[in-house]
């Protein structure tokens, strides 16, 4: 069996779909299943059991030898949340307990880290950093992810196979429930459908024109491919970036949403809210050489291809992956 945490969420439910596609049906889906808005993410998946997040460790007792792998994608991901206690409980302590179970019972572990660990990017986006404690994340969420990465690297006892994947700006199916935390593409689609125009943040730096701020936007289907690769690779432990390796502008993003809808591109610019200007990132781009060096050769989906697939096959039809 494979244990998948965060299974009711955006990336976790897409991973469950990928596992089903690859013939893995003995899945133990773990999450807080109390939110009705997330039910559609997992109700069509093939699985063996739903286990509430807080019951996982008691449920596992006596079954550890049956677990082939834990894919730990569950986390509190709200970048605006300021209560450090929530992140300590859900992103650090819970992950540490999973780590210890994997060590004790010889279970391989794949877990989600985040590009939020890189902060403003002034130190680059290098997953080969020998000491991630030099990084300065901009919010409690990013700090919690970096703190766990640092803790994991410093553990004298590690799972025989483990990787932490630093997700960059992920978009794709199954994020209907995320509200304001959904991807920019999701919000752009809905705004364009309502108004036939799109508002983007104006640049407040002289070295960037309006709309030329850049992010490494990565399609969720690429994430599932990389995780599937590591499920079989099972060597070269450590932290890995998971983006495309190519930063694209917000103007490109908006323009491609318009094109996917067959509409004329009309983009207006509004001031970036004062309270987030100091921490606003103008550029992110994953260095993907480490992942490539261990044999992952599959090309990443271009922004054009990803947006077209997402808009036409999921957003317009209200379909789930």
Who contacts 119 (Cβ-Cβ below 8 Å, separation ≥6)?
A: 135, 136, 137, 138, 142
Q: Are 291 and 223 in contact (CB under 8 A)?
A: no
Residue 94 parent element (H or E): helix 94-105
Residue 120 is predicted with a pLDDT of 87
Tokens 């990017």, residue located: 121
pLDDT confidence tier of residue 298, bands split at 50, 70 and 90: very high
d(CA 278, CA 9): 30
Query: Of 193, 199, 214, 185, nearest to 272 (Cα)?
Result: 199
- Cα separation, 148 vs 96, whole angstroms: 8
> By the 8 A CB rule, do 37 and 176 touch?
yes
- In Å, what is the CA distance from 314 to each residue of 46, 171, 234, 309? 20, 12, 32, 7
Tens digits of residue pLDDT in 23-68: 999 999 999 999 999 999 999 999 999 999 999 999 999 999 999 9
Provide the pLDDT for residue 78.
74
CB contact burial 282-313 (16+ within 10 A = b; e otherwise): ebbbbbbebbeeeebeeebbebeebbbbbbee
For 146-182, how does the pLDDT look when each residue is reduced to its tens digit (9 = 90+)? 999 999 999 999 999 999 999 999 999 999 999 888 9
Report residue 280's pLDDT band, with 50, 70 and 90 as the boundaries: confident
Radius of gyration of the chain (CA): 19
**Exposure string (b/e) for 212-236, b if CB count within 10 Å is 16 or more?**
ebbbbbbbbbbbbebbbebbeeeee
Query: CA-to-CA distance for 268 and 44, rounded, in angstroms?
Result: 39
Under 8 Å between Cβ of 188 and 254: yes
Q: Specify the pLDDT at position 82.
A: 82
Q: Name the active-site residue from 42, 111, 118, 141.
A: 141
Cα 277 to Cα 205: distance, rounded to the nearest angstrom? 10
| pLDDT per residue as tens digits for the range 211-234 | 999 999 999 999 999 999 999 999
Catalytic residue among 178, 259, 263, 290: 178
Active site residue 141: yes
* Residue 279 pLDDT > 80: no
**CA 289 to the chain's CA centroid:** 19
CA dist., res. 300 & res. 221, Å (int): 9
Query: In angstroms, how far is the first alpha carbon of the chain from the final one?
Result: 21
Q: How many other β-carbons are positioned within 10 Å of the β-carbon of residue 23?
A: 7
In this predicted model, what pLDDT tens digit does every residue of 104-147 receive, in sequence order?
999 999 999 999 999 989 899 999 988 899 999 988 999 999 99
Query: What pTM does this model have?
Result: 0.95
Query: Using CA atoms, how far apart are residues 13 and 178, in angstroms rounded to an integer?
Result: 13
Q: Which residues contact 171 (CB under 8 A, 6 or more apart)?
A: 183, 184, 185, 186, 217, 218, 219, 220, 306, 310
> What tens digit of pLDDT does each residue of 72-105 get?
999 987 777 787 898 899 999 999 999 999 999 9
Close Cβ partners of 237 (under 8 Å, ≥ 6 residues apart): 158, 161, 162, 163
Task: Determine the pLDDT at residue 305.
Answer: 98
Whether 171 sits among the annotated catalytic residues: the reply is: no
């Amino acid at each position: 069996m494979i244990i998948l945490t965060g299974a009711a969420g955006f990336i976790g439910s897409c991973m469950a779909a990928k596992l089903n596609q690859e013939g893995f049906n003995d899945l133990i889906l773990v999450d807080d299943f109390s939110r009705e808005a997330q039910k559609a993410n997992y109700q069509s998946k093939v699985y063996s059991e739903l286990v509430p997040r807080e019951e996982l460790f008691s449920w596992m007792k006596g079954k550890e030898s049956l677990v082939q792998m834990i894919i730990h994608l569950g986390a509190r991901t709200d970048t605006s949340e300021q209560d450090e206690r929530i992140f300590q409980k859900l992103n650090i302590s819970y992950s540490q307990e999973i780590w210890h179970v994997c060590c004790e019972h010889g279970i391989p572990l794949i877990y989600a880290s985040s590009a939020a660990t890189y902060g403003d990017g002034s130190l680059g986006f290098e997953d080969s950093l020998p000491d991630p404690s030099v990084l300065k994340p901009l919010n409690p969420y990013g700090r919690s992810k970096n703190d766990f990465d640092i803790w994991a690297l410093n553990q004298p006892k590690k799972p025989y196979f483990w990787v932490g994947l630093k997700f960059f700006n992920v978009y794709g199916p199954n994020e209907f429930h995320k509200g304001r935390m959904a991807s920019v593409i999701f919000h752009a689609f809905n705004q364009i459908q309502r108004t036939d125009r799109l508002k983007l943040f104006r640049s407040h730096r002289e070295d960037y024109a309006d709309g030329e701020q850049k992010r490494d936007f990565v399609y969720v289907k690429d994430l599932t491919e990389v995780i599937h690769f590591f499920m079989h690779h099972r060597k070269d432990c450590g932290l890995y970036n998971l983006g495309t390796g190519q930063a694209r502008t917000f103007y490109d993003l908006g323009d491609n949403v318009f094109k996917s809808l067959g509409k004329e591109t009309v983009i207006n610019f509004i001031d970036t809210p004062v309270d987030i200007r100091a921490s606003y990132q103008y550029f992110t781009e994953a260095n993907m050489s480490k992942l490539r060096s261990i044999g992952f050769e599959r090309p990443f989906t271009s922004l054009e291809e990803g947006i077209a697939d997402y808009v036409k096959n999921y957003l317009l039809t209200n379909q789930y992956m």
